[in-house]
Structure 1
Amino acid sequence: MAIQWFPGHMNLTRKAIAERIKDIDVVIEVLDARLPGSSANPLLQELTGHKPRLKVLNKQDVADPARTAQWLDWYNAQPETRAVALDASEPAPTRRLIEACQLLAPGRGGMAKPMRVLICGVPNVGKSTLINSMSNKGQAKTGDEAGVTKLEQRIVLADDFYLWDTPGMLWPRIAVEQSGYNLAVSGAVGRNAYDEELVALEFLRYAQRNYAGHLRERYKLTQDDAQMAAMPDDELLEAIGRKRGAVMSGGRVNLQKAAEIVITDFRIHNLGRITLETPQEYEEWFRQGMEADALRQAKKDARAKSKKGGRGPRKPPEAGT
C-alpha cells in the first residue's frame, strides 16, 4: 500500500517557496535523523535550484549514532551542501547553524547585505522547536503532530540574519514505498492517510532484523536475535500486544491497539536509538521506486495512446463549416 498525503495547504507552501526562493541566500532543510533519506523532500531540490543548502539531521540524540555518521558523510559529499546533526531542543548547538550558513554564503552579512535564509522540512520533524532554540524565543508554534505550522513566518535572528519559516511540506507523490512507511511511523503523515497496523508491521519487520535488542528490552520478549529476526511480523505484533495488555475478551489480541503502542513508543523514543535506513538502503529503495514509477507512467501513457487510437480517424469538416 502506497502512502500519500498532500493536503491543500502544502500546495500553497510549494507556491510560497517558489516565490520566496528568488531572494534567499541559503536553504536549511531540517531532516529527521532517524530517517534522513525519507525525510528529505525531492520537491525542495526542484524548487530551490542551485541555492546552497544546509541539511540538519535533527533528533540525533534518539537516532543510531553510527548511522548518523554515515548520513553526515553521505550528505557532505554532495555539491553545495553541508550537513550537521543536532538536537534542536538544546540551545548551544543551534548557533552552529548560523555559522554554517555564513560559510555557505560568505558574501552575505552586515546591514548592507543581511543573510536571508529559508528553513524547510517535512511535518513533525522538529523545525519549529529548532527555530525557537535558535532565537531563544517561542516564535514558532510546536506540536507532536503533522501540520502545526500553517503560514510562512519571518523571524529575525540577528540584525543581519533573517529566517523565513515555512509550513511542513511533503511532495505530491511518494514514489519510494518504504519512505512512506517511515514517514508515517515518524508522525510526518496525517493519521487519516495510513493504516496503523500496516505501518507498525513494516516498522517491526525492519526493527526485528536490525534492532532486536531494543524490542526485547522494551517489551520483555524472550526470543534471541535469530529467533526475533525469523518471527513473522504479525506474530511479533501479537506478542507485543499480549505483553502490553492489549487483550480483548476471549484472549484475542487487539492488533490495532498493539500497533498504536508500537508507533507511539517509536515516536516518544521509548525504544532506544533507532535509525530506519542507511544511505545504501535508501539509494536502493529510491532506485526501485523510480523504476516502478517509470513503469507506472509507461502503462499510463500506453493506455492513453490506446484510447486515443481507438477513436479512429477524425472526419474531415464539412464544406462551409
Structure 2
Amino acid sequence: MARIFRRNLIFKEVFSISSNIQWFPGHMAKALHQFQNNVHLADIIFELVDARCPYSSINPEIRKIGRGKPHLLILTKADLADTEMTQSWVRWFRLHGYAATSVDSKNNLTSNQITKIAQQILKSKINSDHAKGIANKTIRAICVGVPNVGKSTLLNQIIKRRAAQVGNRPGITKGQQWLKSSRNLELLDTPGILWPRFQNESIAYKLALTGAIKDNLYPKDDVALFAIDFFRNHAEQNLAKRYRLTGDDLKLSRVDLLMKITKNAGMLQDFNRGSMRIILDARRGKLGNFTLDELSIAKSGLDNDN
C-alpha cells in the first residue's frame, strides 16, 4: 500500500478502513441474535437510518431476519442532512415499495403520528382482526437501527418521558425493553446493531463519519481524509470558512490540506486531534447540512444491496 511521509507522521495515500476496524463485537452479535428471537413478537419493524447516509445505514441483516414482516424506515437527524436529498430519499423508498418517513430534532414524531403510520401499514391485518371481532388491538413494534442513530431520543419523544438512555455515542442502549407509547402502541427498544461485514469501504467511512462506529475503532486520519474529499467536492466554501482556507489551500492534496487545517486550528502537528476536529465538526453540522449517499448508489431495491 502506497504511503507518504510528512514530519514523522505516516498517512496512507490509498487507505482501507474496512480492514482496520473490528466493528462487530460480541455484544453486537448477541443483540442481533436477540432481535432474531424477538422479531416474531412484533407486528412491525421500525428501522431507524441516518438521514445523512440513509441507504448505507440500512442493516441488511435486519432485512434478512425480518423478511415478510411489515417494515417502516425512519430517517433520523434530518435537521443535519440536506433537506432536498432527504425528501428525495423518502420518495425513492416509497417509490420502491418501502414505507418511509423522516424526523428531526425540531419536528418531533408524536405517539399519535407514529401510531397512525403503523396502522396504515398494518391496515390489512387490522381489518382482518376486526372481521374476527378483535378491535383496538395494541400494535407492537420492534425498533432497531445502527448505533448512535438517535433511536433513544426518538423513543423518548414518542413516549414523552426519558425511558431510554440518551447519548451522543454508539452503544448507549445496553438492553432490550418494551416501552408503552400509547393505548394502541408498544415499542421494543434494542441496542444499536451493525452487521458483520461491510460490502465496500464507502459504507464504513460513512458510518464512521456519522458516528455509528466507535471512535476508538478506526484510524481518524482515514475518516478525516474521506470527509475532506467529500466537503471539498460538495461544500467547498463551508470547508474554507470553517478552517480559514484560501483558494490555494483548497488545491492542496488531501493530506496537505489536513495538515493545513490542523495548523489553522492551533493544533500544530497533532494530526490525530486535527482529524477528530474535522469529524466532530461534520457530525455537529459545523460544515453545513450534508447527505453522503447519492441516489445513484441505489439499485432497484434493498434486498440484495448494502
TM-score bracket, normalised by the shorter chain, equals 0.7 to 0.9
Query: 2:173 matched to 1:115?
Result: no
| Cα displacement (A) at 1:90 | 4.2
* Corresponding residue for residue 239 of structure 2: 215
* Corresponding residue for residue 15 of structure 1: 33
Pick aligned residue for 1:274 from 290, 294, 299: 290
> Is the Cα contact below 8 Å between 1:89 and 1:133 reproduced in 2?
no
Query: 2:184 matched to 1:184?
Result: no
| Cα displacement (A) at 1:236 | 1.6
* Corresponding residue for residue 317 of structure 1: none
* Deviation digits for residues 201-260 of structure 1 (CA, Å, limit 9, x no counterpart): 111112111111221221122228xx73x431112211211221111xxxxx32111101
Q: C-alpha separation between the residues in 1 aligned to 2:110 and 2:287?
A: 25
Q: C-alpha separation between the residues in 2 aligned to 1:282 and 1:257?
A: 34
Change (3 A) 1:92 1:148: closer
Larger displacement relative to structure 2 (70-79 or 215-224)? 215-224
| Cα displacement (A) at 1:112 | 5.5
Query: 2:267 matched to 1:246?
Result: yes
Q: How many residues align?
A: 278
Query: 2:62 matched to 1:44?
Result: yes
Query: 2:197 matched to 1:173?
Result: yes
- Partner amino acid, structure 2, of 1:100: I
Query: 2:66 matched to 1:66?
Result: no
Equivalent residue runs for 1:1-321 within 5 Å = 1=16, 2=18, 3-79=21-97, 81-88=98-105, 90-91=107-108, 95-106=112-123, 107-108=125-126, 113-223=137-247, 228=250, 230-247=251-268, 253-281=269-297
Q: Structure 1: which 5+ residue stretches go unaligned?
A: 248-252, 291-321
| Cα displacement (A) at 1:134 | 0.4
Which structure exhibits the higher relative contact order, with contacts defined as CA atoms closer than 8 Å and separated by 6 or more residues? 2
| Cα displacement (A) at 1:18 | 1.1
Q: C-alpha separation between the residues in 2 aligned to 1:153 and 1:260?
A: 34
Percent identity over the alignment?
32
Change (3 A) 1:267 1:94: farther
Larger displacement relative to structure 2 (263-272 or 160-169)? 263-272
Change (3 A) 1:5 1:283: farther
Q: C-alpha separation between the residues in 2 aligned to 1:214 and 1:96?
A: 36
> Is the Cα contact below 8 Å between 1:88 and 1:94 reproduced in 2?
no
TM-score normalized by the length of structure 1: 0.81
TM-score normalized by the length of structure 2: 0.84
* Corresponding residue SS for 1:91: coil
> Is the Cα contact below 8 Å between 2:103 and 2:109 reproduced in 1?
no
Q: C-alpha separation between the residues in 2 aligned to 1:162 and 1:245?
A: 50
* Deviation digits for residues 11-35 of structure 1 (CA, Å, limit 9, x no counterpart): 1111111111112211111111111
Q: C-alpha separation between the residues in 2 aligned to 1:142 and 1:117?
A: 20
Q: Structure 2: which 5+ residue stretches go unaligned?
A: 1-15
Q: C-alpha separation between the residues in 1 aligned to 2:120 and 2:227?
A: 38
Higher helix share: 1
Q: C-alpha separation between the residues in 1 aligned to 2:198 and 2:294?
A: 19
Larger displacement relative to structure 2 (186-195 or 256-265)? 186-195
| Cα displacement (A) at 1:145 | 0.8
Structure whose CA Rg is larger? 1
| Cα displacement (A) at 1:94 | 6.3
- Partner amino acid, structure 2, of 1:204: I
Q: C-alpha separation between the residues in 1 aligned to 2:195 and 2:87?
A: 27
Change (3 A) 1:126 1:165: same
Q: C-alpha separation between the residues in 2 aligned to 1:94 and 1:261?
A: 37
Q: C-alpha separation between the residues in 1 aligned to 2:247 and 2:87?
A: 30
| Cα displacement (A) at 1:88 | 4.4
| Cα displacement (A) at 1:89 | 5.9
Change (3 A) 1:13 1:111: farther
Q: C-alpha separation between the residues in 2 aligned to 1:87 and 1:277?
A: 18
Q: C-alpha separation between the residues in 1 aligned to 2:227 and 2:157?
A: 31
> Is the Cα contact below 8 Å between 1:186 and 1:267 reproduced in 2?
yes
